[in-house]
């Protein structure tokens, strides 16, 4: 499945370049460039894991975290993590809006990505490719390495902070860091990346769905 994510990046990029109308508009060009760079970044994360964990260390994708999860723990952990993430991050956003630091009507998506084909490509990338690639890198690779050196708590905190810094919007670093910490706990709880991948995908989907529908 990890290799499939890289293939999906390439396919999504190709489809995206085909479906976006080449009308020469600057906003379309900026959106296309932004999304293409994002897709390449996701592919690069998987490539790093493959290069340093699989090829150099001789690990398997199972060692990285692609193991069969405990079904009972998945059934409890996935909805609990998703609800906790939405409640706490929603509360954070409410405080930000009440303080007047951000307009509630502002979209979380850059306006250049709100064109129909671009938004659809963004949705596919965010819900399919990004959860697999980012969980492989931040939870399976980064946390896996730091956990062995610093323990689960400090390693989890550091990997969550790096996850937040990888989303460098001023109002996203704190909630994304918190989400990263929740995903680390779910990973430890289920002993599998499939739980964090599921939560990551649903979280992104629920955030983007209103924009896609509208």
Residue-wise pLDDT for 174-211, tens only, equals: 999 999 999 999 999 999 999 999 999 999 999 888 77
Closest CA to 31 of 93, 109, 152, 112: 112
Q: Return the pLDDT at 117.
A: 73
Q: Domain range for residue 203?
A: 2-213
Q: pLDDT-derived band of residue 38, with 50, 70 and 90 as boundaries? A: confident
The answer to which of 90-99, 126-135, 180-189, 199-208 has the lowest mean pLDDT is 90-99
Tokens 């670093």: give the residue. Answer: 173
Q: Return the pLDDT at 4.
A: 54
CB atoms inside a 10 Å sphere around CB 177: 20
Q: pLDDT-derived band of residue 130, with 50, 70 and 90 as boundaries? A: very high
Q: How many domains does the chain have?
A: 1
Interval 146-165 mean pLDDT? 95
Q: Return the pLDDT at 55.
A: 92
Q: pLDDT at residue 17 above 60? A: no
Interval 131-158 mean pLDDT? 96
Give the separation between CA 139 and CA 157, rounded to whole angstroms: 11
Question: 171 exposed, middle or buried (CB, 10 Å; 0-12, 13-18, 19+)?
Answer: middle
Q: pLDDT-derived band of residue 118, with 50, 70 and 90 as boundaries? A: confident
Interval 20-47 mean pLDDT? 73
Most confident of 60-74, 87-101, 113-127: 60-74
Q: pLDDT at residue 62 above 60? A: yes
Q: Angle CA(114)–CA(81)–CA(132) in degrees, nearest 5? A: 55
């Amino acid at each position: 499945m990890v290799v499939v994510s890289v293939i999906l990046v390439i396919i999504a990029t190709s489809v995206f370049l085909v479906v976006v109308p080449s009308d020469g508009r600057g906003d379309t060009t900026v959106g296309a460039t932004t999304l293409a760079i994002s897709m390449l970044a996701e592919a690069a994360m998987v490539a790093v894991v493959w290069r340093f964990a699989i090829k150099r260390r001789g690990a398997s994708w199972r060692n990285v975290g692609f193991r069969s999860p405990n079904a009972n723990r998945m059934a409890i952990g996935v909805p609990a993590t998703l609800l906790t993430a939405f409640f706490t991050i929603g509360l954070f956003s409410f405080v930000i809006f009440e303080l007047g630091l951000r307009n509630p009507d502002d979209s979380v998506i850059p306006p250049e990505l709100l064109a129909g084909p671009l938004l659809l490509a963004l949705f596919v990338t965010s819900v399919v490719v990004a959860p697999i690639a980012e969980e492989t890198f931040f939870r399976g690779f980064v946390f896996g390495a730091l956990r062995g050196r610093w323990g689960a708590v400090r390693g989890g905190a550091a990997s969550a902070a790096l996850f937040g810094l990888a989303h460098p919007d001023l109002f996203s670093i704190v909630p994304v860091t918190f989400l990263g910490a929740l995903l680390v706990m779910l990973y430890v709880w289920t002993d599998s990346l499939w739980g964090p991948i599921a939560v990551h995908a649903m979280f992104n989907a629920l955030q983007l769905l209103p924009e896609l529908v509208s």
